[in-house]
Amino acid sequence: QVQVAESGGGLVQPGGSLTLSCAASGVTNLVYVMGWFRQAPGKAREAVSCISRIDSTNYYADSVKGRFTISMDNARNTLYLQMNNLKPEDTGVYFCAADRAPWACGSSLDDNYAYWGQGTQVTVSS
């Protein structure tokens, strides 16, 4: 079993930056991919980014390319999302997810992950 827990959300002004963290625990050697997803009020959950622990291959949603950076510290079993130039439309609950299947992280940014966190709120507002 694997558990993931997000942290680092908060209130930030437009144009500002924020870094989210996601700590994985349990049988982490089974985790091959991790990803970030978000859900805005009244909207469906959408993929933000994902990364492979094997070769660090990563993918981003078009809406965040050039502004967000995903990274993984394998020694600490921690996933990060560096968010720069934040916009009001980035507001939402951000979820971390993990899976044992290497193909779970791909260019289609599917959300078929086995393990999910509770989410952390990110609010971009002046």
Per DSSP, 85 falls in state S
For the beta carbon of residue 89, count every other beta carbon within 10 angstroms: 10
pLDDT band at 89 (very low <50, low <70, confident <90, very high): very high
Q: What is the pLDDT of residue 54?
A: 87
Evaluate if residue 21 carries a pLDDT over 90: yes
pLDDT for 78 equals: 95
Please say whether the dihedral angle defined by the alpha carbons of residues 125, 37, 1 and 58, taken in this order, is positive or negative: negative
β partners of residue 121? 93
107 pLDDT more than 90: no
Query: What does the block give as tokens for 19?
Result: 């870094």
Region for 111 from its dihedrals, namely left if φ exceeds 0, alpha if ψ lies in -120 to 50, beta otherwise: alpha
Hey, CA dihedral for 9, 64, 14, 17, is it positive or negative? positive
C-beta atoms surrounding 105 within 10 Å: 27
Which tens digit of pLDDT belongs to each residue from 28-86?
Answer: 888 899 999 999 999 999 999 999 998 899 999 999 999 999 999 999 999 999 999 99
Query: What's the mean per-residue pLDDT of the chain?
Result: 95
